[in-house]
Amino acid sequence: MSKWIIEKSAVMECSVYDEDLNFPLRNVYCVGRNYRDHAIEMGSNPDRDPPFFFQKTSDIILKDGGTLKYPIDTSSLHYEVELVVFISKNAFQIKASEAKKIIFGYSVGVDITKRDIQKVAKDSGKPWFSGKVFNGSAVLSNIIPISKSLEPDKIRISLRVNGEKKQESGCNKMIWNIYELISILSESIPLKAGDVIFSGTPAGVGKLKKDDSVLATLHQPNASSLNFKIG
């Protein structure tokens, strides 16, 4: 076998609930619109249109307890709380009824968005990339393995800014559930161990400003949470 011409890059990791274990992160997939109430607040069609995806890289993950420096090119930095699913086995074109077999666990995540830049991109038919993918634009809590977690439709997620509740929803309100999202994404992309999927945000998204403190929580008996600051 040929040698590698440069050293292979180290991967980002996410810690596991109640264990001294790290999960190695690979691709970060995100679904665009997956709760009716959020589709309506964004002026979009809340019907069950096929889901659409975009992608962040795992290199931009902001760690729990970290600080996101307010980016200079936006005046509308938004939070989006989301249930995140972690993939532990390779799978291509997997059925929704089989999807549970490739899930390692769940965390809560925040998909941070430059809403003004995303809107310009949307309105001019350009990709969402510049509004969605920037350093620190995805935050993850520690992962609750499925053996210690409720089913995703029994999980609730919430987000508070400076202690004030801004978002809260049951994950049963998703338009496309976790198993369906995995199946649909895997129709065209081979999912691999280490991939994660942000499953969309409920209503209540809003602006962050410098010095804000954000707390996002996955509510269930084995709860998980993350916090970060805007610096």
Contact positions vs Mn ion (CB under 5 A): 80, 111, 201
Report in angstroms how near the CB of residue 154 gets to Mn ion at its nearest: 21
What is the number of alpha carbons within 13 Å of residue 167 lying toward its C-beta? Answer: 33
To Mn ion, the closest distance from the beta carbon of 7 in angstroms equals 33
> Cα–Cα distance between 88 and 85 in angstroms, integer?
10
Chain centroid to CA 27: 11
Nearest-angstrom CA–CA distance, 18 and 15: 9
Rama region for 119: left / alpha / beta (φ>0; ψ in -120 to 50; rest): alpha
100 torsion bin: left (phi>0), alpha (psi -120 to 50), beta (else) = alpha
| CA–CA gap between residue 231 and residue 211 (Å, rounded) | 6
Which residue lies nearest Mn ion, judged by its C-beta? Answer: 111
Q: How far is the CB of 77 from Mn ion (least distance, A)?
A: 13
CA torsion, ordered 201, 222, 179, 159, to nearest 10 deg = 0
Q: Which is nearer to Mn ion, 49 or 98 (CB)?
A: 49
Tell me whether residue 64 or residue 111 sits nearer to Mn ion (CB atom).
111
Shortest Cβ distance from residue 200 to Mn ion (Å)?
A: 6
How far is Cα 176 from Cα 187, in angstroms, rounded to an integer?
A: 15
Smallest gap from residue 133 Cβ to Mn ion (A): 12
Complex with Mn ion: residue 99 or 157, whichever CB lies closer: 157
Strand pairing category for 103-111 and 138-140: antiparallel
CB closer to Mn ion, 53 vs 70: 53
Nearer to Mn ion, 111 or 195 (CB): 111
Q: Which is nearer to Mn ion, 64 or 80 (CB)?
A: 80
The candidate with the shortest Cα–Cα distance to 159, out of 49, 52, 38, is 38
Which residues partner with 76 through β-bridges?
none
The least CB distance from residue 170 to Mn ion, in Å, is 17
